[in-house]
Amino acid sequence: MEGISIEETSELARILVVEDDRASRMAMLALLRMSGFEAMPAASVAEGMGLLAQNPNCIILDLMLPDGNGAEILAHIRSNHLPMRIVVTTGAIEWQKMLKASPAPPDLILQKPVDFKEIVRWLERHCRNDSSSAGA
């Protein structure tokens, strides 16, 4: 994974990866962990909602999940004013319609296939484990 450097890994955050495609989820988890992040996997809306109690600083969120729409997680986070940054990754052509129910948009939207290095760079800038981005 050339080109990815972490200046101070102790300040980096806990990331929740909600992705139903096993290969994509495992690749993202491996890259995040190699980059110094703590990464937690979820393969469904139910698993993702359950892991919100772990107070991730940031979430990488797929929209099309086997038990519903990832936008349900986004809406829950925004409605409850949870201090989490959200990166939506989607292969859905009509993702705008899928996000309409959310009270606020995600912090970043990336169309699949995503550049994993781009996500890591964004997380390094926006998802530090401090008072400006951490969960309570």
Distance CA 18, CA 100 (A): 19
pLDDT in tens, the chain (136 residues): 444 443 444 456 899 999 999 999 999 999 999 999 999 999 999 999 999 999 999 999 998 899 998 889 999 999 999 999 999 988 766 666 656 656 678 888 888 888 888 888 999 998 876 544 433 3
Question: Which residues, other chains included, contact 28 with Cβ-Cβ below 8 Å and sequence gap of 6+?
Answer: 17, 19, 39, 60, 116, 119
* Predicted local distance difference test score (pLDDT) of residue 110: 86
* Predicted local distance difference test score (pLDDT) of residue 116: 84
What pTM did the predictor assign? 0.81
Domains parsed from the chain with CATH numbers: 12-126 (3.40.50.2300)
* Predicted local distance difference test score (pLDDT) of residue 129: 64
Closest CA to 106 of 50, 39, 58, 44: 58
* Predicted local distance difference test score (pLDDT) of residue 113: 86
Distance CA 70, CA 114 (A): 17
